[in-house]
Homo-oligomer: A and B are copies of this chain.
Amino acid sequence: MSLYLEDLHVGQSFVSRTHALDAEQIKRFAADYDPQPFHLSDEGAAGTMFETLAASGWHTMALTMRLLVESVPLADGLIGASTEVSWPRPTRPGMVLQAFSEIADIRPSKSKPDMAIVTLRSETRDQNGNVVQVFIARMPVYRRGSEVI
């Protein structure tokens, strides 16, 4: 199923598969991209606001992106024009993450009649329903048969 602009409506929702996160994944991502002590080991997190090992927010975001690519089947792709990301609580080893997304707004372009800016709001939740990330993306979405380039 490939969705175009005319297939979308405000309130439309999408649920991803789950992803099981463990300490090894957290440490590996952090070593590559966010080598702060609290993302690298329990010892490094002691005495910080995290207290024990917590994933980099960008790891949570990257994992969420993978879940969104698989669960929000926009025909021309998920391309963020502008985004907001926040983390209401830490992402921890042992969490099973899942992305719950909803079309929050559809704003037709004034200059391009075949295009709208679609706002997607995604919550990444753990296996207990706790929200670890809120992600808001504004994305250009086109009608069937539009010239995207």
Contact = CB atoms under 8 A, between A and B. Distances in A.
State the oligomeric state as a number of copies.
2
Interface residues on A, range: 35 or more
Interface of A: 29, 32-38, 47-49, 51, 56-58, 61-63, 65-66, 69, 76-87, 140, 148-149
A44 B44 CA distance: 41
A80 B62 contact: no
Nearest to A67: B33
A53 B82 CA distance: 20
A47 B149 contact: yes
Nearest to A84: B84
A38 B78 CA distance: 11
A49 to B, nearest CB: 5
Contacts of A148: 47-49
Given A83-B85, A85-B85, A56 B47 contact: no
Given A81-B86, A85-B85, A62 B32 contact: yes
